[in-house]
Amino acid sequence: MKISENAMTVLERRYLSRDDSGKVVEKPEDMFRRVAKNIASAEANYGQDKKKIKQIENKFYNLMADLDFLPNSPTLMNAGKDIQQLSACFVLPIGDSMESIFDSLKNAAMIHKSGGGTGFSFSRLRPKNDPVMSTSGVSSGPVSFMKVFNAATEAIKQGGTRRGANMGILRVDHPDIMEFIGCKEDLKILTNFNISVAVTDKFMKAAKKDGDYDLVNPRTGKPQEKKGAKEVFDKIASLAWKTGDPGMVFIDRINEFNPTPGVGEVESTNPCGEQPLLPYESCNLGSINLSNMLKDGEVDWDKLRDVVHLAVRFLDDVIDVNEYPLTEISEMTLANRKIGLGIMGWADILILLNMPYESTEAYKFAKKLMKFIQDEGWKASEKLAQERGTFPNFDKSIFKDGRPVRNATVTTIAPTGTISMIADCSSGIEPIYSIAFVKTVMDNDALHYVHPFFKQICEERGIYTDELEQAIVKLGSTSGIPGFPSDLRALFMTAHEISPEGHVKMQAAFQKHIDNAVSKTVNLNEDATIEDIANIYMLAYEQGCKGITVYRDGCRAGAQVLSAGSGEKQKTDAAAHQTKLSDIQVDANGKLRPKARPLIIHGATHRMRTGCGYLYVTINEDNGDLFELFARMGKAGGCAASQTEAIGRLISLALRSGIDSDSIIDQLKGIRCPERAIIGKDKIYSCPDAIGQAIEGHLANKGLDVKAMSRLDSGVRPECPECGGPIEFTEGCLLCGLRCGWSKC
């Protein structure tokens, strides 16, 4: 079994079983065996004897252990354990009543607790200020209830192996559409939601012609007012330029391909947008590692066919052994049996086939490859139907040739952020994000990571030198390197070098042969314009996509670093809250000597609730400057107490030596440990993080609002909070560029 060092890190942090003390007690092969055995047990439902079940278990094991295919994360994490919840994505309905709203909130909590993500359409809720007859009052509108769902998600996701995530959708013809479009403009609000506007064909046509369309009150079903479609469209593009949200979901196109229209209408998708689902529906996803599908420099179509058929069987078995968080979800999932087989390693296979990502050749290859997977997937589903019967809601009139099949859908391009790390391949159908990264470790040494294919191919050409490596590490791409071969420059174009049109065309090429939808992000440079984004959204609609997401570099860089009570922006003045340099002494050998401590000093003690109990942080000042810090756990003694005392002493030494408090806060905040705490909307990840927040709070009490939100939550923090690597925005989520396993979703 070939497991890379990075993959092992991800597995140990997220997937492998632990004992009660938190110690990892499982090896990767144990995990794959656990999953294979559990999923293969479903075969007993269809008359397979023990010998046959064992054979299928071994096939499932080899499929995963060879890294040819991996199921979605909840299946790897939970199969064969007490938490037998194996689905990645769910959609819950929200009706226009308090009972329905809070029933959905409760159900979402159960799903998040089990490791799933949820999608909601808030389109059925009456608009803001609409009458509420039962109370003689008025409605607060969909956005207000989204904030309630967001707060609940924030509370539930703490300490889990997989973070809760939501998709919030509102129809473009809802009267509150303008408020919804701007609901994430404040980056501290709705941090656990991706949002998308469900746009109709009628709206898109009106936007192209600069015409009007009706806003319809969902309570009455009647038009409430007319709105200029281009005004709304431009507002969507403007906010997407500013914050990355909202995306667009082409809801009429989604329902045009709804395989069970008699059961219901699709109103929402899962959090990353690739899985349109009916209310109470879930889907089980998995991805084929394309980088393993080559033989002698060509696609091994026979191997790919075998992998597709076995993967479809695997995913269908998942449906049967899955323990769903709600009875309604179990009933709907078993009735439709949707699965989503996708791919990862697309950028890798293009490089290995010497095929530039942004090329007509690559678009044609994408269609050919995905058509093969889709066709073989349906053949596998048809074969399963012959063995096991069709899915209960099967209606032969909606399938082209009326053939009986086992599953309502077969293919999806899903995010593969962490499973692609395990497989050590590129993520989904995204291009490479950078050819090289620099990681700064704790002793400030810089470690260079260069894409292995780049190094290999350049070495084969005889052009890989120390100078080239230094340039690549500095730039992250071949742009700006004079004389670099043009064919290799095209082959190794990064996400930001590929044109927006190239991104959309690739997504559209795959969508042509995908039953569900495609998770992909159009990454844009900081200098992209609002008009660029408007053009991308329109092109995605015209090219046949089912949805679209963009992310412009720096688009969330709006958080204030330091602001006075009046709200006016000010520059950070380090001298306002640090020891004066004139008070620092240098000895005869030129070494720094910290400022001496006065006999009497004043300060304040902050009580911080951590996952290990209360932490008391005392911060003292000298002439208005931060001077020293003491940290004490509520319970005396032990390793934790000695660690916090040591941290306090070192912080005091730093303050007395002229180190500004911003730098100290930066070093402490975001450090994580397994024991976390949550107070309202605030998160405390560890004792060091609590100390950093205590210093921040102390300065805030002095009238200095330091870093009102973390750079990570604002989208501008460049480091992964777990390993210090760079952050990527891809497949609708913030991910660690060094692939340590961290993601914000």
Active-site amino acid positions: 270, 272, 274
Tokens for 673?
Answer: 């440990």
Lookup: tokens for 349:
């296979």
- The radius of gyration computed from the CA coordinates of the chain, to the nearest angstrom, equals 27
Q: How far apart are CA 203 and CA 250, in angstroms?
A: 10
Distance between CA 233 and CA 206 in Å, rounded?
10
- Given a contact cutoff of 8 angstroms between Cβ atoms, the answer to whether 11 and 422 are in contact is yes
Which structure tokens are listed for 88? 């990645």
Could you count the other beta carbons within 10 Å of the beta carbon of residue 418? Answer: 28
Helices (H), 325-401: 327-336, 346-352, 360-388
What is the C-alpha to C-alpha distance for residues 360 and 362, in angstroms, rounded to an integer?
A: 5
Q: Tokens 């084969």, residue?
A: 460
- CB-CB contact of 464 with 478 (8 Å): no
Rounded distance between C-alpha atoms, residue 497 and residue 566, angstroms:
42
Q: Write the single-letter amino acid at 641.
A: A
Give the chain's largest Cα–Cα span.
92
Tokens found for residue 156 = 């539930």
As a three-state string, the secondary structure of 701-739 is HCCCEECCCCCCCCCCCCECCCCCCEEEEECCEEEECCC
Q: For the chain, what is the total number of helices (H) and then of strands (E)?
A: 23, 32
Q: Is 462 left (phi over 0), alpha (psi -120 to 50) or beta?
A: left
Contact indicator for 173, 214 with CB cutoff of 8 Å: yes
Letter string b/e over residues 135-173, b meaning 16 or more CB atoms within 10 A of that residue's CB: eeeebbbbbebbeebbebbbebbeeeebbbbbbbbbbbb
Q: Which residue has the tokens 């995990």?
A: 31
Residue 14: strand, helix, or coil: helix
Q: Among 293, 307, 266, which Cα is nearest to 71's?
A: 307
CA distance 648 to 446: 27
SS3 503: helix
